[in-house]
Amino acid sequence: MKITHLLLLFYLNLSSSKCVSVSDPPPQDLVDQKCLLNQYTHRSCNKVFCQPWQKCVDGSCVCKLPYQCPKNGTPVCTTNGRKYPTYCHQKSFECLQPQTKFSNNGTCTAEGKFNISLRYGNTKAEGIVQVKLVDQDEEMFICKKSWSMTEANVACVDLGFPQGAFVIRRRFNIPGNLRINTTKCLHVHCRGIETSLAECTFTKRRSNGYQGLADVVCYTQDEGSPTNQSFRCVNGKHIPQERACNGVNECGDQSDELCCKDCQGNAFLCKSGVCIPNEYKCNGEVDCITGEDETGCDETRHPQIRENLARSDQDQGGETEETEILTADMDTERQRIKSLLPKLSCGVKRRTHILRKRVVGGKPAEVGDYPWQVAIKDGERITCGGIYIGGCWVLTAAHCVRPSRYHNYQIWTALLDWLKPNSQLRVQAVNRVIVHEKYNGTTYQNDIALIEMKKYSGKKECELSNSVPACVPWSPYLFQPKDKCIISGWGREKDNKKVYTLRWGEVNLIGNCSQFYPNRYYEKEMQCAGTDDGSIDACKGDSGGPLVCKDVNNVTYVWGIVSWGENCGKPEFPGVYTRVANYFDWISYHVGRPLISQHNV
């Protein structure tokens, strides 16, 4: 790696003194139009986590088989009277065969049926919402106060309107001769991804005053003629443009919240361009795929603590509302199931030795600093770097290897200095080499290859006790231009000087790289990285090695593979890396999904 002297630059953080604009940006500026072309929905695992009864395949959440659900939990009953061992089993079954829906937690009883209907409207698609809960005799109404587009969408989907709700709060006239006790309405809370209102949590609160009743107009073909002011959801529904990117899943398929440059209202912007409701921040569940909604959280904001705080506030404040919970909290059950799913261990270093204060710079690495870094030895020479990704698998550049030469290669793991081999060093023979079938040696497109190491005789696994796999990024939205990442390798210095010890340096991800390499840069497949002054760059011999980035939880991902670049250390020609996230499916096809899937296995 080529490293010249570093300029110490002090940046003033001007963001805090930035002028606050008087008016919010027009809504269409919040939406990333190019991103919309991807038609992302709540089932796009590039943007969101799948449900625990789903797994991510080729960028989409698809149904898991029921046996892949965790075993423990309580039984649930469906609308057709069938019993399932857990909520996950039922949802997985429903995902495969959508006719049957959730009815209630616990066993199935003869008379117990959840029912929802719309009353006092002119059509079947509208009216005041009436429900009958499983353990309640009476039909009840829902309080307006607890009713939002989130609940309304679930109710309409439940009633057979797949595009959800059109509007809420359209007064319907209750015939004068009917005396409805409007102080006895139910409160309901949904997450928005439920397929039945029965999955939402119902509570009863005693209240003295009059409460408005929840109503809805469900979305049908006749509703919502599109205007140039409307946002078109992926499910075909049109919503007012000003409601996109506000954290509320207005579309019902979340497509109005997944391509955002900024959020408005009560919402939080994930680095991945997704708006989530502010309430999801620090609620104990990670919602942003990039994880930042659950970092830097004040302990007292944990839900249980918050609940206790709220309770003590109530005790002191004399608020008299009593809350009676009428249905099981399936959202909490969903979170519990999620926490039981197997977790992959990658990208976290084992050692905890003292961290050096210096972050920026080209420095020799120490033992355990880059436990995913490997060296590829071809005959007598170390020719390329590689990245250990788990099992017996190493990722490298296609231009580094040839499948037919596999027996000439050795993988050196936990190596630091190849003149003075350290005690941790392991040398593995190679079993096979897989080069991407669309690798183009002229354009360097798809410059990616996999090396399968040989197991030691009699061993079932590749035991690399001094190595740690880097995580394979499953989404192209995990890191963004300007993020700081690290390159490492045994490549040449600027003056073509040979390097014997592993060296590392910090670089920034660079967007818009076509300006540096017109007609040679392929955005989807490649990633540029470098520094403003070119002082840190990959060079000859670093090829095949890692460009790694750390997420907010300090988990390390292999974001790039050193691929090519014009010269070394020239700011006008940044280093070009294979964009690994683009090859997640290719990698998982060869190494097996469970080896590299952190979520949604």
Binding site for ligand 4AZ (CB under 6 A): 537-540, 542-543, 562, 564-565, 568, 575
d(CA 126, CA 123): 6
Burial class (CB in 10 A: 0-12, 13-18, 19+), 18: exposed
CB of 5 to ligand 4AZ, least distance (A): 18
Number of residues that make up the chain: 601
Query: How crowded is the C-beta side of 566, counted as CA atoms within 13 Å?
Result: 10
**Given the residues 369, 447, 537, 551, the one annotated as active site:** 447
Output the six-digit token pair for 541: 């011999």
Output the six-digit token pair for 430: 């190679």
CB of 553 to ligand 4AZ, least distance (A): 30
Residue with tokens 């209630």: 104
CB of 575 to ligand 4AZ, least distance (A): 4
Could you tell me if 423 and 415 are in contact, meaning their C-beta atoms sit under 8 angstroms apart? no
Of 347 and 541, the one with the shorter C-beta distance to ligand 4AZ is 541
Query: How crowded is the C-beta side of 116, counted as CA atoms within 13 Å?
Result: 30
SS3 call for 293: helix
Of 484 and 540, the one with the shorter C-beta distance to ligand 4AZ is 540
Of 468 and 568, the one with the shorter C-beta distance to ligand 4AZ is 568
CB of 404 to ligand 4AZ, least distance (A): 21
Render 145-196 in DSSP notation, one character per residue.
GG--HHHHHHHHHHTT-TT-EEEE----PPPTT----TTSPEEEE--S--SS
Pairing of strands 275-277, 267-269: antiparallel
CB of 562 to ligand 4AZ, least distance (A): 5
Start-to-end C-alpha separation, the chain = 36
Of 86 and 543, the one with the shorter C-beta distance to ligand 4AZ is 543
Q: Please give the torsion angle defined by the CA atoms of residues 416, 420, 426 and 428, in that order, rounded to the nearest 10 degrees.
A: 100
**Given the residues 187, 399, 436, 599, the one annotated as active site:** 399
Could you tell me if 161 and 220 are in contact, meaning their C-beta atoms sit under 8 angstroms apart? yes
Residue with tokens 């977790």: 343
Tell me, yes or no, if 399 is annotated catalytic: yes
Of 479 and 577, the one with the shorter C-beta distance to ligand 4AZ is 577
Of 194 and 537, the one with the shorter C-beta distance to ligand 4AZ is 537
CB of 577 to ligand 4AZ, least distance (A): 9
Of 247 and 574, the one with the shorter C-beta distance to ligand 4AZ is 574
Could you tell me if 252 and 235 are in contact, meaning their C-beta atoms sit under 8 angstroms apart? yes
d(CA 446, CA 571): 24
Whole-angstrom CA distances from 347 to 244, 342, 352, 554, 590 are 35, 16, 14, 8, 20
Could you tell me if 548 and 558 are in contact, meaning their C-beta atoms sit under 8 angstroms apart? yes
Amino acid of residue 328? A
**Residue of minimal CB distance from ligand 4AZ?**
565
SS3 call for 473: coil
**Given the residues 255, 467, 475, 543, the one annotated as active site:** 543
CB of 540 to ligand 4AZ, least distance (A): 4
Amino acid of residue 202? F
Of 216 and 395, the one with the shorter C-beta distance to ligand 4AZ is 395
CB of 240 to ligand 4AZ, least distance (A): 48
Query: What residues are labeled active site?
Result: 399, 447, 543
